Amino acid sequence: MRVALFVTCVNDALYPDTGRAVVTLLERLGVEVDFPAAQTCCGQPQFNTGYRAQAERLARRTADAFAGYDYVVTPSGSCAAMVRDQYPGLGCAGLGDLPDRVYELTEFLVDVLGVTDVGACYPHTVTYHPSCHGLRMLGLGDRPLRLLRAVRGLELVELPGAQECCGFGGTFAVKNPAVSAAMGADKVRNALSSGAEVLCGADNSCLMHLGGTLRRQDAPLRTVHLAEILASTEPEAAAHPQPDAHADPNGAAA
């Protein structure tokens, strides 16, 4: 089984911990992972903003980078949905069967590897935000929740209005900042009301928007990618978690 990690541009540049967590997790489950360095971005920002020709260029690059792998696994429901749902409609040559080989992380774990208990330990109260593309385009269903429920020490609490969009929406976040911020504020209020210590998701783009909103408010809740929870094992380490990957390394809050 040749498995490639499609880390995504956002994770590569801003959230490398998520990529490392996927590698740790998959290797722990006996999967040999490769990282084709020719990968960059799937082209979703270009496609969703109306720049189709440029999205096609990046789609061809992505297909090329992942040629020859049986499975391409990504810790982003949004990017998986771009490849699987939108690439076929682009209709450009050279994309091969990539859409059939791309799996969002939780799909790969549950459907391909057939595991829900990945041997993780994470003694925290966690609530889960199902990002729209994973929820509606990929139909991830309860896979992420099944994986979270099997984590030792983790208490999963319900997120009110979970299925509502967080307001990120790619370039929407900067093209319509007022509405984006209003949606983010409501999502954050719901997450805080859940009583969780950790707001977990399977898309760092949404978590970037929500984490930035939380930090601006100095709210007592941090955002963590699902992969990082599933990669955690040591109770001692988890009880004294690493500095939040999404927190400001410069120290004091603004």
The 12-31 contact track toward other proteins, x by CB under 8 A, reads xxxxxx-xx--x--------
* DSSP helix/strand/coil, 254: coil
- For the range 171-179, what are the long-range contacts, defined as Cβ-Cβ under 8 Å and sequence gap of 24 or more? 171/45, 171/48, 171/49, 173/209
Establish if 189 lies at the interface with other proteins (CB under 8 A): no
CB of 139 to other proteins, least distance (A): 11
Sequence length of the chain is 254
In the list 28, 61, 152, 189, the residue contacting other proteins (rule: CB under 8 A) is 61
Alpha-carbon gap, residue 43 to 33, rounded angstroms: 23
Question: In terms of CB distance, is 156 or 185 closer to other proteins?
Answer: 185
Establish if 71 lies at the interface with other proteins (CB under 8 A): no
Question: In terms of CB distance, is 47 or 108 closer to other proteins?
Answer: 47
Alpha-carbon gap, residue 86 to 111, rounded angstroms: 22
CB of 244 to other proteins, least distance (A): 10
Question: Under rule CB under 8 A, which residues in 81-120 are in contact with other proteins?
Answer: none
In the list 28, 29, 49, 121, the residue contacting other proteins (rule: CB under 8 A) is 49
Establish if 7 lies at the interface with other proteins (CB under 8 A): yes
Measuring CA to CA, how many Å separate 57 from each of 5, 82, 94, 217? 20, 14, 10, 39
Question: In terms of CB distance, is 154 or 232 closer to other proteins?
Answer: 232
CB of 240 to other proteins, least distance (A): 20
CB 231 within 8 A of CB 161: no
Alpha-carbon gap, residue 57 to 145, rounded angstroms: 35
